[in-house]
Structure 1
C-alpha cells in the first residue's frame, strides 16, 4: 500500500497516475478538496496536512511505501515562515511517522536548491559552477529562504536515516510538465502564451516531470538503496529559447526584449514595496530577478549510471507540454 503527499502538485499528479496505471493500491493526502486529476477515482483519499503530526501518523496505517511530494515553492518574502512550516516541519512529521512503522520505505522529492550554490571559492572561478550530490552546503554563504527550507528539510530525512529509516531523495531542477499554468513552472508556458514582450537573460536548468516520476518510482519501489540522493536535470537552456519555442507551439509572438540587469534590480525593489503595501505576492523578487545570471550546471551522472538511461530532450519536453496544454483546453 502506497501513500502519497502533494498529490495535487505537478509531480504528485503524474506520480498518482503512474501508480494507478500499474494497478498499485494508493492512498493520498489532500488538504481542502480532492484534486481534479485523471486518477482521482482510483485513489483512496485522506483529508489532512503534513503539518498535523498526529493526523498524519494515523494516515499511515497499513502503508509500506511513502512518496513525500508535498512542498511549497516560493520566493516571496511573505512566505518565509510558511516555507519552514511546510518544507521543514512537514518533512519532519513525515519522517517521524515513518519511523513509527518499521519497514516503510520513503521516497522524497527535494530540489537542487538544497545543494546551495557551491562554495564561495567555486563561484569566483571562470565557467559555470558545477554541482552534484556531493556538493556541500556552504554555511557561510547567503541562501534564499526557499533553498534554506529545502536544505533543512533534507536534514530531517538524514536524521530519519540515521535512526534506521529506509529513504532516498531526488533533487530535480526546474520541473516542466502540463498542469495548472497558474502555479509552479507551468507559469512559464502561460507567460509565452500571453505574448509578453520581456524576458530576462540567462539560462535555466530543466527536467521533464515524467523523468522525475520514473526515477522516484524506480528508486523507491525497485531498489533497496537508502541514504542516497540523486540530482535530476536534463540540462540548461536559455530562458529566451524556452519561451520562444513555447510561443511558436502556441502560434504566439515570442518575447523579444531582454531586461538588463539594472532594470531587473529596480523592478524587484519596486515589487517588494508594492507587496508590503498591498499584501500581494511580488511578481518578481530579488532571487528571481538574479536567477540565471551566474551559469550553474547540475551533474546528473549518478542517476544516469544507476538507471541506465538518459533524460528526455528538453525540446521534446517543451513540445509535449504545449500540446497537452492545448489538448486539455488550457491554452485556448
Structure 2
C-alpha cells in the first residue's frame, strides 16, 4: 500500500487524486484540524462529483502528526511506498523551533520508519529553497552545494536539514528520490500559499514586485513524483520548475484571467520596511512572514532554475505557466460563482 503524508495540502490533495485513479486503496495522514472537504473539492475539479466521491472513498485517512511515533506506527502498517509531503511553511523567525521540529525531526521520523519497515521507496517533497542561491543571473541546478555561510532563512535551513535526513536513509539502504519544486501553482486553497495570489488580486491588489523565481504547475509536480517513484531511478534529486518568471508577469496575468485590474504600482523597499503592505504578500511564501533583512532582500533577489535534469530523466514536458494560470483562474471563477 502507498502512504502519503500531508495529504490535505495542495500537493498532497492533487497527488491523492492521481493515485486513487491508479490504485484501489491509498493511506494518507492528516492533522486533527485538517479540512478533508478541501481535498474532496480538488477531486471534483477534474472529474464528476460522483466519481470524485468514489475516488475519495479509496483513501484511508489516519490522524497522525509526523512527530507522533505511536500514530506513525499505525500509519506504516502494510506500507511499501511513501510520498512525504507534510511540512511547515513559515518565514516567521519565531517559528524556527517549530520548523526544525516538523521539517527536520519529522522527516527523520519518516525516514526511520521507512528503514524499519523495509519501505521500497521514499519520495520526498523538498523545495528550491533548499538549493541555496547563485548571484546575478546564473542558473541554479541540482549540483549546487549548500553554502552554510550564506544568510538562509529558517524555512530553507529546515528543508535542507530534512534533505540531509533523507540522504541518511539512502546511505542505510533506503531507495529515495527528492523533488525540489519552485513556487507551486494550482487550484484550491485560495486563502493560503500561492492560491492567495488569486484571492488577493480579486480583492484589488495594486502592487507588483520584480523578483524572478521558478514556477511550476501542481499537476506537473505530481506527475514527476509518481513517475520517478515508479521508475528505477533512485538516490537522485530533481528541480521541478516550468519557467523562471517575474512576479510582476505572474500577477498581471492572473489579473487578466480573472478579469480584474492589473497591479500597476511597483512595490518599493520602503513600503516593505514600514510593514504596511508586507503582510499582503508574505503569505504567498508561507503562513507567516515578519520583516527581516533577509525577507526584504528575498523579495528583490532573482533566482533562475535549470530544469534540464528532470526533462532528460523522465521526458517530462512542463505545462506553460500561462496555461496553468488560465486553467486555475477558470476554476477560481467557477467556484466563486457558486458561493
| TM more than 0.5 | yes
Distance in 2 (CA, whole Å) between partners of 1:225 and 1:167 is 9
The correspondence of residues 71-86 of structure 1 with structure 2, limited to 5 A, is 71-86=87-102
Offset at residue 285 of structure 1 (A)? 5.5
What is the match of residue 186 of structure 2? 177
What is the match of residue 61 of structure 2? 45
* In the alignment, structure 1 residue 141 sits paired with structure 2 residue 150: yes
Distance in 1 (CA, whole Å) between partners of 2:203 and 2:292 is 21
Distance in 2 (CA, whole Å) between partners of 1:169 and 1:91 is 12
TM-score by length of 1: 0.89
Distance in 2 (CA, whole Å) between partners of 1:241 and 1:62 is 47
* In the alignment, structure 1 residue 208 sits paired with structure 2 residue 224: no
Distance in 2 (CA, whole Å) between partners of 1:63 and 1:268 is 48
Distance in 1 (CA, whole Å) between partners of 2:296 and 2:276 is 7
The 3-state SS of whatever aligns with 1:196 is: coil
Distance in 2 (CA, whole Å) between partners of 1:329 and 1:242 is 21
What is the match of residue 25 of structure 2? 25
What is the match of residue 73 of structure 2? 57
Distance in 2 (CA, whole Å) between partners of 1:117 and 1:9 is 26
Report if aligned partners of 1:193, 1:252 keep a CA contact under 8 Å in 2: yes
Offset at residue 259 of structure 1 (A)? 1.5
Change (3 A) 1:171 1:24: farther
Distance in 2 (CA, whole Å) between partners of 1:61 and 1:44 is 12
Distance in 2 (CA, whole Å) between partners of 1:305 and 1:12 is 25
| Higher mean displacement: 34-43 or 141-150 | 34-43
* In the alignment, structure 1 residue 195 sits paired with structure 2 residue 204: yes
Change (3 A) 1:248 1:270: closer
Distance in 1 (CA, whole Å) between partners of 2:15 and 2:337 is 21
Change (3 A) 1:42 1:251: same
The 3-state SS of whatever aligns with 1:169 is: strand
Ranges of 4+ aligned residues in structure 1 off by more than 4 Å? 268-271, 280-288
Q: CA RMSD in A?
A: 2.1
Offset at residue 139 of structure 1 (A)? 1.5
TM-score by length of 2: 0.87
The 3-state SS of whatever aligns with 2:336 is: coil
* In the alignment, structure 1 residue 109 sits paired with structure 2 residue 125: yes
* In the alignment, structure 1 residue 310 sits paired with structure 2 residue 317: yes
Distance in 1 (CA, whole Å) between partners of 2:291 and 2:56 is 34
What is the match of residue 301 of structure 2? 294
Paired residues in the alignment total: 316
Residue deviations 1:125-160 (CA, integer Å, cap 9, x gap): xx4132111110001111100000000000000000
The 3-state SS of whatever aligns with 1:108 is: strand
The 3-state SS of whatever aligns with 1:329 is: helix
The 3-state SS of whatever aligns with 1:312 is: coil
Report if aligned partners of 1:193, 1:246 keep a CA contact under 8 Å in 2: no
* In the alignment, structure 1 residue 230 sits paired with structure 2 residue 238: yes
The correspondence of residues 120-139 of structure 1 with structure 2, limited to 5 A, is 123=135, 127-139=136-148
Report if aligned partners of 1:27, 1:43 keep a CA contact under 8 Å in 2: yes
Report if aligned partners of 1:269, 1:286 keep a CA contact under 8 Å in 2: no
Change (3 A) 1:269 1:152: farther
Report if aligned partners of 1:116, 1:137 keep a CA contact under 8 Å in 2: yes
Report if aligned partners of 2:271, 2:278 keep a CA contact under 8 Å in 1: no
Offset at residue 34 of structure 1 (A)? 5.6
Report if aligned partners of 2:239, 2:307 keep a CA contact under 8 Å in 1: yes
Report if aligned partners of 2:82, 2:123 keep a CA contact under 8 Å in 1: yes
Question: Structure 2: which 5+ runs fail to align?
Answer: 41-54, 280-286
Report if aligned partners of 2:85, 2:124 keep a CA contact under 8 Å in 1: yes
Change (3 A) 1:242 1:266: same
Question: Structure 1: which 5+ runs fail to align?
Answer: 272-279
Change (3 A) 1:244 1:228: same
